[in-house]
């Protein structure tokens, strides 16, 4: 009998007893279950200690998974910069210790074998593969956590904006359901044309997402960027400056020009972001909805984001020009040809949403809603995870929002409800408001209230009406072939009514 270096009695091992398969097998087993390889090498106390730590860590992780809300706990890490930093450090330390343990295990196993130089080289090749197998995931986890930390710190402010109104809805971050006491949330979504070759910000797309937190049911209200005589929210600097609405004789005072006007407006001088504040006041004046927060993505960010998620598959119902405008159609640099299920990169997806001079603004607004729906439906988790650094980079450099960091987890939880709920949309086109130059804003606000009411309590008769719609009668064409008459009520939904987003594409 002999005594092992750590004090445990063990039988002496001979060179013939342990060959290369034994060394390799226990090195691999010791890598998968830290400690077992050391036990096999005769380092029983050290191996038992490592194995005990491994079991304790796995048991703690299992308890963590089985008790409490795993999603909320996971989000608490993913959305907290401090915890993300600690997680990154912990992953690095764990990865280094794991790699050292693999090296130590193999070295101790070799002492119990009689391998030749070539066989030892083979065992170290196996060790190198195992170390890489541990190091790569550790590197990716560290990189992703630091990228996520940078994204959270860059896009989301630590404290609430000074431009927040007392009436703005806020989640109770300490409650089990942070939105339990909130009836409605209104988020202004802005597509900005700000870029290197553009001066200032002129919102190219303005959509209000009005959300019922209890169900996640949402109505998207699309606003034309060229609305005139826009009323501002009562009691605001905009309402004081333009009591009869935002209007200029030269047709320059459009909705998307409110942002640049406010930059030099004395009434908004004290705002943290005067252009945004004035635009929110204008949108509230139009829709009668209090804007609680906003999210803005510029054109460059949109293009990069779509590329990062692998592109979009879209239906193109008519040929769309790229570039040019109604006054300069010859500046067109290409076309998106008509066709179904077309795979588009970020640049073509952007032009699919922006192209306008050959079609109506209604069609353009419809295409913008289709892009939103496509991103929601097609951005699968695997693609998002594999391309996360590129996605984070696109959002970090090109996105801004009024959601404070302290409320971020509550907003992510709300987003998961919206994804599972019913989303309808109402675009304020010429068919709905009749005139862009002098819209009936009282009518718009009535339509908003009706759309929200139908989202909260969908009309019970809708299904029965659709089912009882009479079958269109048939006539005979000059060629003798039957031709069905188009049922206008069935094929052409009321443009003033909110429609399911999936039906407008």
The DSSP result for 441-494, as a single string, is: HHHHHHHHHHHHHHHHS--THHHHHHHTPPPPPEEE-TTS-EEEPP-HHHHS--
Band the pLDDT of 159: cuts 50, 70, 90.
Answer: low
pTM across the whole model: 0.74
More confident residue, 494 or 458: 458
Round the average pLDDT of the chain to a whole number and report it: 81
Two structure tokens written together for 337: 């040809």
Only one residue has tokens 């790699």, namely: 99
Ranked by mean pLDDT, the top range of 162-166, 422-426, 480-484 is: 422-426
pLDDT value at 370 more than 90: no
Q: What gap in Å lies between CA 106 and CA 240, rounded to an integer? A: 79
Residues in the chain: 505
Q: What is the pLDDT of residue 491?
A: 43
Domains defined for the chain, CATH in brackets: 2-155 (no CATH), 185-455 (3.40.630.190)
Task: Give helix 274-287 / helix 441-456 axis angle, nearest 10°.
Answer: 80
pLDDT value at 461 more than 70: no
Band the pLDDT of 438: cuts 50, 70, 90.
Answer: confident
Torsions phi, psi of 228, nearest 5?
A: -115, 170
Band the pLDDT of 7: cuts 50, 70, 90.
Answer: very low
Tell how strand 334-336 and strand 399-401 pair up. Answer: unpaired
């Amino acid at each position: 009998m002999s005594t092992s270096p750590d004090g445990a009695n063990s039988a002496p091992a001979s060179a013939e007893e342990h060959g290369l398969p034994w060394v390799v097998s226990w090195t691999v087993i010791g890598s998968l279950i830290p400690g077992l390889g050391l036990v096999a090498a005769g380092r029983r106390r050290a191996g038992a200690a490592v194995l005990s730590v491994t079991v304790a860590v796995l048991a703690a992780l299992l308890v963590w998974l089985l008790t409490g809300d795993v999603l909320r706990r996971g989000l608490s890490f993913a959305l907290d910069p401090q915890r993300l930093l600690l997680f990154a450090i912990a992953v690095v330390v764990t990865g280094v210790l794991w790699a050292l343990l693999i090296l130590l295990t193999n070295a101790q196993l070799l002492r119990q074998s009689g391998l030749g130089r070539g066989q030892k080289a083979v065992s170290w090749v196996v060790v190198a593969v195992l170390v890489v197998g541990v190091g790569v995931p550790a590197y990716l986890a560290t990189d992703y956590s630091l990228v996520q930390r940078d994204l959270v710190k860059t896009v989301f402010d630590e404290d609430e904006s000074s431009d927040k109104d007392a009436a703005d809805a806020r989640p109770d971050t300490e409650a089990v359901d942070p939105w339990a006491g909130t009836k409605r949330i209104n988020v202004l979504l802005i597509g900005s044309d700000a870029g290197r070759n553009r001066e200032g910000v002129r919102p190219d797309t303005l959509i209000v997402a009005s959300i019922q937190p209890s169900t996640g049911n949402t109505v998207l209200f699309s606003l034309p960027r060229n609305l005139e005589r826009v009323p501002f929210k009562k009691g605001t600097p905009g309402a004081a400056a333009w009591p009869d609405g935002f209007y200029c004789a030269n047709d320059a005072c459009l909705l998307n020009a409110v942002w640049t006007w406010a930059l030099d407006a004395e009434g908004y001088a004290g705002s943290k972001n005067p252009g945004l504040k004035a635009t929110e006041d204008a949108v509230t004046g139009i829709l009668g909805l209090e804007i609680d927060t906003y999210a803005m993505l510029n054109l460059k960010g949109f293009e990069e984001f779509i590329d990062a998620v692998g592109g979009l598959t879209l239906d193109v119902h008519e040929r769309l020009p790229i570039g040019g405008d109604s006054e300069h159609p010859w500046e067109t640099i290409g076309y998106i040809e008509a066709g179904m299920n077309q795979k588009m990169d970020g640049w073509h997806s952007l032009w699919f949403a922006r192209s306008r001079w050959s079609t109506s603004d209604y069609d353009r607004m419809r295409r913008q809603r289709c892009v939103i729906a496509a991103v929601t439906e097609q951005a699968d988790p695997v693609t998002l995870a594999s391309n996360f650094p590129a996605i984070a980079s696109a959002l970090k450099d090109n996105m801004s929002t009024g959601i404070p960091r302290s409320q971020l987890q509550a907003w992510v939880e709300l987003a998961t409800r919206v994804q599972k709920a019913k989303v309808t949309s109402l675009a304020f086109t010429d068919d709905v408001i009749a005139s862009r130059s002098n819209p009936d804003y009282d009518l718009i606000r009535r339509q908003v209230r009706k759309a929200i009411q139908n989202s909260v309590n969908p009309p019970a008769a809708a299904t029965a009406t659709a089912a009882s719609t009479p079958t269109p009668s048939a006539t005979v064409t000059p060629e003798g072939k039957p031709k069905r008459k188009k049922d206008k009520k069935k094929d052409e939904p009321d443009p003033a009514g909110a429609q399911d987003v999936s039906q407008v594409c």
